[in-house]
Structure 1
Amino acid sequence: MNTKVSKRNSIARAVANYIRKAGRRRNADLAAPTIPDWWLGDLEFAGLVPRAQQEEDMEVMINIWPGYSTYTDEYDMLYFEWCLESTEDWKVFQEETVIGGQDPGVFPIRISLTRDIFKDEGRFLLRYRVQTYLGITNTSLTARFIIDKTPPNDNMSPNPLAFVDAIVGTDGITDDYLQANGGLKVTIPPYSDTKNGDRIWVYAYTAEEEAVNPVYDAELTGNPVTIRSDAFNALTDGKIDFKYRLFDKAGNKGPESDLTETSLLIKPLPTGLDKPVVPLASDGLLDLEDIRSILPPALRALSIPVHIKRYDDWQSKDTVILTWGGAQPISHLLGPIPGDPIVIQVPYSFIEADYGNDTGVKPTTVSYVVQRGNRMFPAPSETINVNLFVPGPVNPDRPDPINKQLPPVTVKGGSGTSPDNVLTADDIGLDAAVSVKLYDPIGPGERMKLYWNSTDKSVARHLPTPGSENTDYVFTVPWADIEAHPSAVPLPVFYTVDLESGEGNKEMCEPTLVDVSAAVTVQLAEPEFPDAGSTLPGDPILNCSSFIGPDQEVAVFIPGNSPHLKGGETLSFTWQCYDKRDGLPGDEAGPPQTWDRMVTSTEVVDGFEFNVGPFAVYILPVDKSGSVRLTYVSDTTPPLSGEAFIRAAAWDAAGICPINTREAEHQMQFGARRTCR
């Protein structure tokens, strides 16, 4: 290649291009088109189209040019052009014939540049050419406008802001800090594409609050920036997050920054923190019996309440974090109206996991802290003793007292001829045998107690020894104990397992249901007295408050007796007064009062209620301190009976009981009752 020739050609081309441009400049004596002044004369941002106006057509104005013809029979040709600055590829947007000699008031000529022209971002040039009637063409100077659609930092999420003072991140924003520093000082990290006119919105908000209005809104002319102290007045103390957004002068809004977190602590801090209280361990010990006292027993879903005195200077966003021993902490948001005490439920599963495999009393620390934001305020702890140990196999349903891993019992009547778990007439007067396979494992000092239709008193005991697991054992139940319990269908027979010392917890096997109706007289339900009062020691009694209405009658309720009764049976009632509290033979006061009543099929299921009276016949004979026995017998074969015995008094401290007015109240609540006389 001839490099000398190449160089001469390139130089020649450059000179020719310069002369051509210079010629254009000499003819470019027309004023530039006028575009909107979006920034009120601020030359630094002249031509920058605000983001909102980028979606609108742009009005461009062209003023009257100096050589405009004054003859109405002449005209000039106007060519309005645009191009991207980077290309100088001019395109005619609008061509217009301008008639000469018009009133100057028709100027400027207004041209609506459609937004499709500048739908993409970039730098654009506008100009116009005028070809006069005389055949001379002039080109205007250019007007430039800028379409910027990209937010600062190339539309990427900026890094989180930082606190100028590191103590704000650790100790939170306190009122003392704000007063001493005139607000909160934060630093905005460097970002790409920084330009004059960039603006920042800083948001601060606490948990469950929306970041609606910025706490700082200004052009980013310096760094760090200071957020005014009063910007935090409406916020709730607690954890507080900061984020910000960048805006450029055109109004392009960048994405939110990552969060910066600290605590807002401008209100008084928590004080008066007391020890936690475990009400079920008021005696210092929490055992399974305490846990089972919660009604209803929801088994594995059971929770144990811990009470915390409501402390001073609490805030609704405070979180109380409770720790039970080594179990995972439990967080409790205080809320706008906390109770006093504050009650936190500890799931039984937490207590069980912390207790582990201990076999006795385990000291357990219960503690809590109040968290406000990231600050923790500890309270004094409490230590209680926990005992969840039960001898025998592990109960998967604990704290349910029924352990299905304990083998159930089998009952055999003394005759040896009755079916399992059934006593017949052949077994009357004979001891029963209750057999069971011993549980596994068995530890030292353990015992088994057998119960026959009762949880108050066991009928047999056994002290199993380690090594006797899975062997058969037979309890003997004396006939006297069988006979002493009224017949029930079904009648539960079961045993419990605990320590021989009686300390600690116990569990029971699943009850075996035994039919003894053919061997033991069936007992009907015991009558009840809904309006009975109480003696000072707490024993039930019919006293002056129990006698209803002008006849001072006594309310009686007979519970359901299904399946022993079907409905249609006649019940014979006997009411006997005694003038002694023990109601022994010879203490009778007055003749027995008797009556009959037929029961319906509904009443044998739901029970029924009635009144007995008048007072002079049914109560007055008991005198100052006596008793009453109510017996009822069915006309079935064999007859079935039920009985209730209760203390009674016809006097108060001033004399014979006066008439009271409670009948109306009772009828409103329960409805009218039938009176038996």
Structure 2
Amino acid sequence: MARSSKPFTPPGVLSTRGGAARTLPKFDEVVGVDPDDPEGLIPLAVSLSPLECRIPQWIPGPGVGRTHTLTLWWRVRGVDVQADSESFTGPLNPAHFPYPLYVPIDFMREIDAEVEAFYTVADQGGSLTPSLPWTLTVDNNPPRFQHPDDKARFVDPAIELSGITEAVLAANPFIEVEIPAYVGRAGRDRVGYYLSNITPPFPPVQKGSQEFPLVTDPLILSIPAEHFRGLINGTAYLQYRLYDRAGNFTLAFSAPMDFQVNLISDPSNLPPPDIRVPAYLDSLIKRDDARAIVAARIPSQYDDFAPGDSVVMIWDGRPVLPAQPITSFPFPVDIPWDILRGPDPLALTEADVRYEIHRPGRPPVPSPSSFFWVNLTIAGQDHADAPALLNATLALVDVVGKGSGLHNELDFRDATAGAEVWVRLYQDPMPGERLELYWNGTGPVSHYEVQPGDVFGQLVQFTDVPGNIIVGGGDRPDLPVYYTTSNQVNEQQSGDTLVNVHAAPLILFDAPLIQHSLHGGGQYLTCQSQPAICHGVYWFIRDDVRFQAGDQIQFFWQGFSKSNWADPIDGTDFTVTVSYITNGQAIRVWPWDTKIEPMRRYASATAEFFVFRGGQVVGQSKVGYVRIDRVFPGSVEPCQPGDANFCESLDDECSGSSG
């Protein structure tokens, strides 16, 4: 074989300056021959092809147009035989060196010959310069048995008598077998042995071999005990072949050594594994199966089962350790998530599943394989708690009331308007993946389908959540809203966004009552109304059993320029908040200049209130309507405080009112 590293060899010199002949260096390499072997043994496999000898460049090479002849020589028993030759016309190309010449195959058919290989370089004038020789050994003579009936024997006489039993193998990790002396023994010879229930062994598969470095070493084979376990109970045979260092070997087997085998049979006829139901009923193992725990099984009892047998299930090359004692059949082995998922990027794969039966003192017995389709891909990034459905790495939704405009809070205004729901997309979104929204555990109530061009972190909107879903989900301060992602195979679930929902239908209270006399067929507030409206417009909120202590009442007034409550007048809106008191209470709209005076001829106003309890709206009143006309009959100008028959007194006629 070639050396893994060799020192630099300078180019050979044909002659000195004075013309004295020089010896060229040895070959750069004899391919297949160990350069450190002092005998230069040519292995048998190498000798079956022309032997390549690689020759370093020599100097000076032939000049331009001149020729040198390179010749490879084979010296055997003092006779030089030309093996190969090549002519070179100068100048030499360093890229061609070391240059190979070859010894023909038939040169290496000599029996146990020590030869020398060397090369010469002849210039155009016939001067010849030789190289140093490389000593080689040709060995075509295999060792041979002294007698045709030479056979091995057990070193231990007790084993000779008992044969191979469980007790023998338990007590002897190695079984010693002695072979008789043979002809042509040399250092580093090797003995290859065969164990079989027939003789000669068929197929002739060598069970093992052992090298004997020195010719003085005892010819005792140490055969691992487990090598005998492949034998069938009854008569068995051990035979061997002899090998020398070159690779020559005896063509015939030795005579057979027969012995008895009486062992407990190894497990056999192992059935291929299956998958415990319900996993794989749909011919695909998914994350919901993993959450329920996937188990690969030995589906039925195998032949020669023995108590104490254990199993290592192997999922796509990943063993489930430690081995588990087999207690019954079918016998399931749970596949942990890290084994099921494996280290590779997620994809649809076909898993090769098999198992090994372990029995103390014996090599594992493998089962046939079964193949199962597995798809653990998800829409969204994977997470540390996989295969759990809840994926805390998914963004939470933002719920926005379409009526209230509030974020993650919904009130009565959203009971009819509904809500928008937004979320930022997960990593690597793929078109066709679907997000589905769940409201208080019910759903899906809304969805979003990933579109081409969607990217990680993009804000997307679900279809709107209608008001009836909001109302149907009930009022609570921490109503959970989440979504699932699906790639049509596996789902993941986001964490909850807790939404403060108080959108139940409001208590409807009676409209506030106007506290003034009204005039005309249209029932107008006029300059003749009592009490006079120059001190404010008074309304009364009647008591109601649905009020509770602590309720806050927010009163609203709005003026309009038309008598049909159209065209609101800027600046006339009025609001005041009062605490609930029993027996009802009066509210005054005030001041005159901004809240009442702008309503002059055939105008109008409305009044209503909302009830707050604990900071949330729980009720509202019907709307109170009133028309306003401040022009006296026969006049064209609206009345003003101080006019005759209108507000001649500046005293407040309803001093107990709020506002």
TM-score (norm 2): 0.36
Structure number with greater Rg is 2
Larger % of helix: which? 1
TM-score (norm 1): 0.35
